[in-house]
């Protein structure tokens, strides 16, 4: 049986069938990464071939300059498997949350027609190439249809996670100046109907949204403003089921996806049409070893980059079936996820460590009758997966037969950049593995020197980067320079992750070195939480730190200095409500502590590190340099340590 520190290689059988099984691919690609990507790009369908493969004007770079492409043409008419072959194959399997409701299947042909109808609808409503469209939908097929319809006509989509609050949606709509929002009446979550339209209505106040398209999903009562709101099903009825694809320039903006920013203002990562398509097609094909009959279940919501790239675009480009699920993996019973895998004969399962830790907690008993015979490959993403969780996943879900691809990447990178390839290996618990062929990665110390084996440093990406990486932060070029290109100069992309290499060159990600915390795989800036908390009138100061949590990986702990007259419990509840309102339930703190003072340096900087260490058990370090060392003793009393 596999143990911590062991290496696992794919079985002969897996290797034999794998799309990539020869390790020589790494040397070949690294000899000339630009040529390598060009060769891959050539296999896709371009209306016009690019004139130049790569251009670097630090900190900006471009790929496939002058090329003309549309991702939907590559998904449908020009799919590499051939339209005839995929036409009647399920493109999407949709599993609703209520167990009494039937699942739905959309074949490629049905999906194509729906996409075209909706693309024509958007055009009829005045949407043009380059316009931004907001998408605030639950996990229903219309979410994918909406994304593809935008892509078809060259509109820029901004998908916002449906569990985000109306405030979080509002700020994204304000930044992008979207005139159209696509939403739904409601959806099911843990047996309850969530009224999404109400949040959408609240969000569009003080934005440029003029029209709201509403998908009827849960049939709940909603406010409906006839002058502005339209039912999706009524709009598409009248439209033709064919829509010509817009010929997009490689470097035209494809979508903007926001990720949390320090001050409460999210950063819009800009992804472009050409490079993104090339990267998600190939990374998906090789990393998930996508074969014609595969059924992939990537559990990520479409509102995250993982949902964009590996729930929607990559499987469809590869002509395989993607499964989407409306609900929570442990609802109504803890084995719901296992039932879904067996019911729909899932072959590739891609999820986050937080979900796996939850399965572990429910116990092996819950899944002892599941054989998972159809599964052949497992994936993990979003946060470091510790050894014992990896081993549990390998044994109980993969039945010691399925390779696990631990995939490292970010909203910014658009696609996976580090992971062992399943047909090559090796896989080592808690290690992501090697950089994807053609990707140049290094781990640097503070001075910019490469770290030795086992030495922890900062993970960076070197030129020519990757075709799918972000091209900027929307309407905020300063942020782009400052966040990614200032640590080691403007030619080295700084990931904000700490990492080290083992003796085989396999990379292990340690975690963020900035103020980002990963709460159940969701990326949240502590500064963003502090900005929300500081809106409270009676709170003079706050500090938020991430502390380890058994299931969620990390959870926020909030410390507030409050000078008001209200009772403590009341303030705590108000803080929680502020976070819920400004960000959403995913960011809720584990605890809110009311304290008299926060530990600070003499120059007034809050020492969050000390607050964190109160929970991790690490040495607090020298407190004598603090301006107010007594604050630490007081805080210890408040938190009961």
Contacting positions for ligand PRX (CB under 6 A): 259, 305-306, 381-384, 406-411, 432, 495-497, 509, 512, 518, 523
**Residue 558: in which H helix or E strand, if any?**
strand 553-562
Q: Tell me the C-alpha to C-alpha distance, in Å, between residue 125 and each of 111, 429, 558.
A: 21, 51, 45
Q: Which is nearer to ligand PRX, 410 or 487 (CB)?
A: 410
CA 27/CA 33 separation, integer angstroms: 10
Q: Which is nearer to ligand PRX, 330 or 386 (CB)?
A: 386
Shortest reach from residue 510's CB to ligand PRX, in Å: 8
Beta strands at 211-215 and 253-259: parallel, antiparallel or unpaired: unpaired
Shortest reach from residue 134's CB to ligand PRX, in Å: 20
Token pair for 536: 């409270």
Shortest reach from residue 408's CB to ligand PRX, in Å: 4
Q: Tell me the C-alpha to C-alpha distance, in Å, between residue 441 and each of 245, 278, 409.
A: 36, 19, 12
- With vertex at residue 489, the alpha carbon angle to CA 483 and CA 492, rounded to the nearest 5 degrees, is 80
Which segments of 344-401 does DSSP mark as H helices, in order? 353-362, 387-392
69 CB-near residues (< 8 Å, 6+ apart):
44, 45, 46, 47, 247, 248, 250, 273, 274, 277
Q: Which is nearer to ligand PRX, 54 or 304 (CB)?
A: 304
Residues forming beta bridges with residue 418, ordered by sequence position: 408, 435
> Taking every pair of C-alpha atoms in the chain, what is the biggest distance, in angstroms?
74
387 CB-near residues (< 8 Å, 6+ apart):
4, 5, 429, 430
Shortest reach from residue 539's CB to ligand PRX, in Å: 28
Q: Which is nearer to ligand PRX, 514 or 591 (CB)?
A: 514
CA 392/CA 422 separation, integer angstroms: 18
Would you say the C-alpha torsion 525, 529, 534, 540 has a positive or negative sign? negative
Q: Which is nearer to ligand PRX, 149 or 280 (CB)?
A: 280
Q: Which is nearer to ligand PRX, 18 or 305 (CB)?
A: 305
Residues forming beta bridges with residue 497, ordered by sequence position: 512
Shortest reach from residue 608's CB to ligand PRX, in Å: 18
Q: Which is nearer to ligand PRX, 154 or 414 (CB)?
A: 414
CA 323/CA 141 separation, integer angstroms: 10
* Of 148, 145, 171, 173, nearest in space to 158 by CA: 173
Q: Which is nearer to ligand PRX, 306 or 321 (CB)?
A: 306
Shortest reach from residue 280's CB to ligand PRX, in Å: 12
Token pair for 242: 């064919």
Q: Which is nearer to ligand PRX, 147 or 405 (CB)?
A: 405
Shortest reach from residue 409's CB to ligand PRX, in Å: 4
Assign 367 to helix, strand or coil.
Answer: helix
Shortest reach from residue 529's CB to ligand PRX, in Å: 16
Q: Which is nearer to ligand PRX, 386 or 591 (CB)?
A: 386
Residue 53 near residue 38 (C-beta atoms within 8 A): yes
Q: Which is nearer to ligand PRX, 239 or 514 (CB)?
A: 514
296 CB-near residues (< 8 Å, 6+ apart):
288, 290, 310, 315, 320, 321, 322, 323, 346, 347, 348, 350
Shortest reach from residue 291's CB to ligand PRX, in Å: 23
Token pair for 60: 């900006």
Q: How many residues does the chain have?
A: 641
Q: Which is nearer to ligand PRX, 211 or 308 (CB)?
A: 308
Shortest reach from residue 410's CB to ligand PRX, in Å: 4
Shortest reach from residue 378's CB to ligand PRX, in Å: 13
Shortest reach from residue 483's CB to ligand PRX, in Å: 12
91 C-beta neighbours (distance < 10 Å), count:
27
Q: Which is nearer to ligand PRX, 250 or 410 (CB)?
A: 410
Shortest reach from residue 447's CB to ligand PRX, in Å: 22
């Amino acid at each position: 049986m596999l143990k911590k520190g062991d290496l696992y290689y794919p079985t002969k059988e897996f290797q034999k069938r794998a799309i990539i099984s020869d390790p020589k691919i790494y040397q070949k690609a690294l000899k000339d990464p630009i040529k390598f990507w060009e060769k891959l790009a050539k296999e896709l369908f371009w209306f016009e071939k690019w004139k130049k493969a790569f251009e670097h004007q630090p900190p900006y770079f471009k790929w496939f300059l002058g090329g003309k492409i549309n991702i939907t043409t590559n998904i449908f008419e020009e799919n590499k498997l051939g339209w005839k072959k995929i036409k009647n194959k399920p493109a999407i399997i949709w599993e609703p949350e209520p167990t009494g409701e039937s699942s739905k299947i959309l074949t490629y042909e049905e999906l194509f027609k729906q996409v075209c109808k909706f693309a024509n609808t958007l055009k009829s409503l005045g949407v043009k190439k380059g316009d931004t469209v907001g998408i605030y939908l639950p996990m229903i097929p219309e979410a994918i249809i909406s994304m593809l319809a935008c892509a078809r006509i060259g509109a820029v989509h901004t998908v916002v996670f449906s569990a985000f609050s109306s405030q979080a949606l509002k700020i994204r709509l304000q930044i992008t100046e979207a005139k159209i929002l696509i939403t739904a009446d409601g959806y099911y979550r843990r047996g309850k109907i969530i009224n999404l339209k109400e949040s959408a209505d609240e969000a569009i106040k003080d934005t440029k949204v003029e029209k709201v398209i509403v998908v009827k999903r849960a049939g709940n009562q909603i406010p409906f403003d006839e002058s502005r709101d339209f039912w999706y099903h009524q709009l598409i009825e009248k439209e033709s089921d064919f829509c010509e694809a817009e010929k997009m320039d490689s470097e035209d903006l494809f979508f903007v996806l926001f990720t949390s920013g320090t001050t409460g203002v999210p950063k819009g990562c800009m992804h472009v049409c050409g490079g993104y398509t090339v990267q998600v097609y190939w990374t998906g094909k090789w990393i998930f070893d996508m074969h014609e009959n595969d059924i992939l279940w990537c559990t990520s919501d479409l509102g995250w980059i993982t949902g964009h790239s590996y729930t929607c675009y990559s499987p469809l480009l590869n002509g395989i079936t993607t499964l989407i699920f409306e609900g929570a993996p442990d609802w109504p019973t803890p084995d719901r996820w296992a039932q879904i895998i067996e019911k729909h004969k899932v072959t590739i399962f891609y999820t986050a460590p937080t979900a796996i830790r939850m399965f572990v907690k429910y116990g092996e008993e819950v899944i002892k009758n599941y054989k998972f015979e159809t599964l052949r490959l497992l994936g993990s993403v979003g946060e470091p997966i510790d050894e014992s969780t990896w081993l549990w996943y390998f044994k109980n879900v993969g039945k010691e037969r399925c390779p696990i691809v631990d995939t490292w990447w970010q909203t910014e990178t658009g696609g996976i950049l580090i992971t062992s390839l399943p047909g090559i290996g090796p896989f080592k618990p808690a290690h992501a593995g090697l950089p994807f062929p053609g990707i140049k990665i290094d781990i640097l110390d503070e001075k910019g020197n490469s770290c030795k084996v086992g030495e922890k440093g900062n993970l960076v990406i070197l030129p020519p980067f990757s075709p799918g990486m972000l091209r900027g932060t929307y309407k905020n070029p300063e942020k782009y320079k400052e966040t990614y290109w200032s640590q080691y100069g403007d030619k080295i992309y700084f990931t904000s992750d700490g990492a080290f290499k083992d003796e085989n060159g396999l990379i292990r990600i340690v975690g963020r070195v900035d103020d980002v915390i990963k709460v159940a795989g969701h990326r949240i800036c502590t500064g963003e939480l502090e900005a929300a908390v500081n809106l409270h009138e009676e709170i003079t100061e706050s500090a938020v730190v991430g502390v380890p949590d058994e299931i969620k990986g990390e959870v926020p702990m909030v410390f507030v200095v409050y000078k008001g007259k209200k009772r403590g419990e009341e303030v705590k509840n108000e803080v929680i409500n502020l976070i819920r309102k400004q960000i959403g339930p995913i960011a809720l703190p584990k605890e809110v502590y009311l304290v008299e003072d926060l530990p600070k340096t003499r120059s007034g900087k809050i020492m969050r590190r000390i607050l964190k260490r109160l929970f991790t058990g690490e040495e607090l370090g020298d407190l004598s340099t603090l301006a107010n060392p007594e604050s630490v003793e007081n805080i210890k009393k408040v938190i009961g340590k």
